[in-house]
């Protein structure tokens, strides 16, 4: 449940960011802290929506694999999706440290101590859900 809640919350944040730089005071602070750039240009709406949908989709997938909600499609495909989610999150978590090069210092700091470690933790949770489902 913790994984589904975290993915949903982060997904909802992406939907908010389509319309607003909240919780940051302005767009410049947002882009430095979240995007790593100091150009003051918000990320493109389609990619922001796509990431939000993917995160919420991952939360729904987690609930289906965990049998908290009814599953859609074959169980093997949901399981492959769960392992895929773990790989994507782990890749972002470990690969995220390479994103620091040339990025704004605000992003570097949060990416090093929050974003990348959070992705690794979410990957571990995803992997745990996938392995537990594999053993059923």
Asked if 91 and 121 count as a contact pair (C-beta separation under 8 A), the reply is no
Of the listed ranges 55-69, 71-85, 95-109, the least confidently predicted one is 95-109
Q: What is the pLDDT of residue 136?
A: 81
Q: What is the pLDDT of residue 32?
A: 93
What residue has token string 């090069």?
Answer: 101
SS3 64: helix
Supply the pTM of this predicted model: 0.91
Asked if 128 and 104 count as a contact pair (C-beta separation under 8 A), the reply is no
């Amino acid at each position: 449940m913790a994984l589904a809640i975290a993915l949903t919350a982060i997904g909802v944040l992406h939907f908010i960011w389509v319309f607003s730089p909240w919780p940051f005071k302005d767009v410049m602070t947002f882009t430095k802290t979240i995007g790593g750039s100091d150009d003051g240009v918000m990320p493109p709406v389609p990619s922001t929506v796509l990431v939000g949908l993917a995160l919420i989709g991952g939360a729904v997938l987690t609930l289906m694999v965990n049998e908290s909600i009814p599953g859609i499609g074959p169980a093997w495909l949901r399981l492959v999706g769960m392992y895929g989610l773990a790989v994507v999150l782990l890749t972002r978590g470990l690969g995220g440290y390479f994103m620091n090069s040339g990025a704004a210092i605000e992003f570097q700091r949060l990416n090093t101590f929050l974003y990348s470690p959070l992705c690794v933790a979410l990957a571990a949770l995803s992997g745990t859900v996938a392995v537990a489902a594999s053993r059923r």
